[in-house]
Amino acid sequence: MNSRKRNVLIRMIAALAIFVYVGYLAWPMLPHFDFAVIVGFVLLYFVWQLVSEIWIYKDPDDYVVEDDDQKSYLFLQISFMLALLFATIDFIEWHITRNPNWEPAIIFAGLGLFIISCFVRWWGFNSLGRYFNPRVAVYSKHQLITQGAYKKIRHPLYLGSLLSFLAIPMIFNSWGAMLIILLMTTPALIYRLNLEEEFLLRHFGDEYQDYMQKTSKLIPGIW
């Protein structure tokens, strides 16, 4: 098992552990609608994981020649898992920041946003092809991708991730989890995005500088 598959397995086991715990708590005490929300999200989440890792992801043809991740991926994953854990437990047990007046509209909106995020990330994965790497890295024959999802914005995968991060607190109707996303996960994402921009500027130089002049960083026409 290579390092990528091992990291994917660790993430899926961690997420599965959270959902098993949630299911254990939810089964005897949750209303049918609440339990259906949890089961629906679990199925949607793991279907996306399987699709992205088995059918979308392509192993690179070349080897990594430079890596400057600076643990940004680790910070991002930890902050997101904290938000996910709080959101799910708050939804089924604590109810500290759950507002029943927003349901079911906020839940359906969150599920819709999560599905949109999957399409955005699929487009980004498909455009990037074999150059995708979860770390901030470049390959020996790396070429700058400026077409497809990368034609208008430089970081469509991060846009998709941000949409999915925001969708989770909506699905579980937890503004406490939304605060974690806004105060911890989003800054970690922006830190990683800026780190990657500096890295690509060092590697591609004027080519990336010209690309920056023609595109937005994350949100088309805004930023």
What span, in angstroms and rounded, lies between the C-alpha atoms of 106 and 85? 19
| pLDDT in the model for residue 4 | 61
pLDDT class of 86 with cuts at 50, 70, 90: very high
What does the pLDDT look like over 185-196, one tens digit per residue? 999 999 999 999
Domain count, the chain: 1
pLDDT at 54: 66
Using CA atoms, how far apart are residues 76 and 69, in angstroms rounded to an integer?
A: 11
Domain-embedded: residue 98? yes
Provide the CATH number for the domain around residue 174.
Answer: 1.20.120.1630
- Does residue 32 lie within any of the structural domains? yes
Contact criterion met (CB below 8 Å) for 88 and 105: no
DSSP 55: I
**Helices 156-171 and 105-128: angle between axes, nearest 10 degrees:** 160
Place 2 in a pLDDT band, splitting at 50, 70 and 90: low
* Domain boundaries, position 104: 3-214
